[in-house]
Amino acid sequence: MTRISLSVDGASVSDDVEPRMLLVQYLRERLGKTGTVIGCDTSNCGACTVHLNGTSVKSCNVLAVQADGAEVTTIEGLAKDGKLHAVQESFRECHGLQCGFCTPGMIMQSVDLLKENPTPSEEEIRLGLEGNLCRCTGYHNIVRAVQHASGQAVNS
């Protein structure tokens, strides 16, 4: 067991964890942060995407011990003071989700994408979300949601 201390969605937490424990397992099983989900076992689907020190990571691809001392933000910490983040709002506005399982990861990745490139083209959005799989929407409205969140005109 290894002792880790980190900040998750603004709260300080400290636990003894097995070295093999993945960050996503730590979030879900130890902290009850079940908003972050697991969709695959090969780092393909991106459903578990969170922010580690402000940058998106697939939390199935990070060991909990690697997050020691870090600041982690999950989908549950994105809204501030009861106000949705613009990307969350845009996913609802543009119907960028159906079953919603990929949505936490998709939103966290979109936030990171827009941080790096505030006015991405459609192609840049599509490439920026390549690591996140969705089976419901065909991506059409996810692309629109990101366009909308960036303040750009949304294609019909």
Tokens, residue 78 = 């994105």
Q: Under the criterion CB under 8 A, does residue 44 sit at the interface with other proteins? A: yes
Longest dimension (CA), the chain: 53
CA of residue 120 relative to chain centroid, distance:
18
DSSP assignment of 27-48, as one string? IIIIT--TTS----SSS-S-TT
Q: Which of 99, 115, 116, 121 binds other proteins (CB under 8 A)?
A: 99
User: Binding residue for other proteins (CB under 8 A) from 2, 3, 92, 117?
Assistant: 92
* Least distance from other proteins to the Cβ atom of residue 12, Å: 20
Binding characters for other proteins, 3-42, by CB under 8 A (x = yes): ---------------x-x----x--x---xxxxxxxxxxx
DSSP H or E run through 6: strand 2-8
Decide if residue 81 touches other proteins (CB under 8 A).
no
Distances (CA, A) of 65 to 13, 23, 47, 60, 61: 13, 8, 21, 13, 12
Select 69 or 114, whichever has its Cβ closest to other proteins: 114
Name the minimum Å distance from CB 114 to other proteins: 15
Question: How many residues lie near other proteins (CB under 8 A)?
Answer: 59
